[in-house]
Structure 1
Amino acid sequence: MNFEEKTLSEKNVFDGKLIKVAVEEVETPKGLKAQREIVHHAPAVAILALTADHKMILEKQWRSPIHDTTLEIPAGKVDSRDSRDALHAAKRELNEETRLKAGTIKKISSFYTSVGVLDEFMTLYLATDLTPVENKLPQDRDEQLVLEKVTLDEALKMIGEGQIEDAKTIMAIYYWRGMTNHG
């Protein structure tokens, strides 16, 4: 079965600092015309940072789209400072947001964050053997973060109680639980 839609036209309707929004007119495989609204976003990274005492680092921060604070793992976009290298971006974001560096950092998975509307492609890393950085990179001036450290049991409870609702963070916690259960 053919699923591919043919793009008939694309109009850019917004070009911002973080995203671009386009409206596409498409023809479906059944020959129907439809409209698709697409948010273009740079690739991104997220880091499951685990301390020597078996705690994960979470960041509490305000998120304007939901008008609330969230608890999330460190994350950010891959930008010109990274030469399109997601691993470099993960190391940079870990430095900027936590002031730590990882002795060991490995890729867990890559995924699309919300395929129905957004083309953001995120890579999740596991960072261990954490130590303070020697050279602190500049932090985003419009970002206010408070770091928290929680155990796996605390993190799982926080998901169950609705204190953690961020998808990448939930994915990281469940990965951590799988690591713990399977070595």
Structure 2
Amino acid sequence: MSFEEKTISIETIYQGRMLKLEKQTVELPNGRQTTREVVKHPGAVAILAVKDDQILLIKQFRKAMDETLIEVPAGKVEAGEERMTTARRELIEETGLQAESMTLLHEFYVSPGFCDELISLYRAENLSESDAFSADDDEFIELQWLPFKEITALLASGQVRDAKTILALQTVLLDCNDSN
């Protein structure tokens, strides 16, 4: 059975700086038509920065939730930018660190029911201070190094509510279990 939906028409409802909202008329596999509201997003990267059995986390206020979240460094892919380049740029912008080694770990959709945002999760190692550090004017970030041995307790505490960060932390736990 085919699950694909054929796009009949697309109407742009909103075009913003970071996203676009489309109203798509589609034909379902059974021949019926329906409407889908789809958020188009350029994608993002998340960085699992590792140093001496510690992971770098950041705290920042997120207006959409009206709260301060604990996250891994992350950021939006700019038009025409390679994802690895985005990861390196965001690591410098948010932390002032650069990575000698950057490895793609996972790619995942954030909310595939209505949004096409794809996040690429990278592991950054062999970190050093960057001469190119220049924080964004609109970001206020606090850095926090978390030892691997404290990851389980942090996750169990419920303090981390950001999905990309939970996935990154669980990846570290899986890697630690695999190496034992």
Same-fold status (TM-score > 0.5): yes
Match of 2:51 in 1: 51
One of 163, 172, 179 as aligned partner of 1:176 = 172
Unpaired runs of 5+ residues, structure 1, are: none
Q: Within the alignment, does 1:70 sit opposite 2:69 as a pair?
A: yes
* Deviation (angstroms), 1:77: 1.1
Match of 1:146 in 2: 142
* Deviation (angstroms), 1:98: 0.5
* Cα distance in 2 between the residues matched to 1:103 and 1:5: 43
1:78-97 CA-partner distances (Å, limit 9, x unpaired): 114xx421111111100000
Match of 2:106 in 1: 109
* Deviation (angstroms), 1:162: 1.2
TM-score by length of 1: 0.93
Moved over 4 A (4+): none
* Deviation (angstroms), 1:105: 1.2
Please tell me the root mean square deviation across aligned C-alpha atoms, in Å: 1.2
1:62-116 CA-partner distances (Å, limit 9, x unpaired): 1111111110000001114xx4211111111000000001121111011211111
One of 116, 126, 130 as aligned partner of 1:129 = 126
Q: Within the alignment, does 1:160 sit opposite 2:159 as a pair?
A: no
Match of 1:29 in 2: 29
AA aligned to 2:164 is: K
Q: Within the alignment, does 1:88 sit opposite 2:62 as a pair?
A: no
TM-score by length of 2: 0.94
* Deviation (angstroms), 1:32: 1.9
Identity of matched residues, %: 37
Aligned pair count reads 179
